[in-house]
Amino acid sequence: MKSRQEERLVTEAWFHPADQPMENMPRWEYHVHSDFSDGTSSVSAVIGAARARGIQRLILTEHTEPELVAGPGWFERYVRTVRDLRQSEAGTMEVVIGLEVPIVDLEGNLLASEAMLDEAEFVLGAVHAYPGYGWDLSGIDPGRAIELEFRGLMVLADHPRVHAIAHPGGVCGKYVTPFPMELFEDVVIRARERGKAIELNPAYHHPMGPFLEICRRHGVLLSPGSNAHHPDEIGLAWEVLQELRP
Closest CA to 225 of 216, 213, 210, 238: 238
Q: Find out whether 195 and 4 touch, Cβ atoms under 8 Å.
A: no
Q: Map out the domains of the chain as residue ranges.
A: 27-243
Cross-strand bridge partners of residue 17: 221
Closest CA to 227 of 52, 67, 16, 59: 59
CATH match of 27-243 with 3.90.960.10: no
**pLDDT tens-digit map of 111-147:** 999 999 999 999 999 999 999 898 889 899 999 999 9
Q: What's the pTM?
A: 0.94
Per-residue pLDDT band for 245 (boundaries 50, 70, 90) equals confident
**pLDDT tens-digit map of 199-238:** 999 999 999 999 999 999 999 999 999 999 999 999 999 9
**pLDDT tens-digit map of 166-210:** 999 999 999 999 999 999 999 999 999 999 999 999 999 999 999
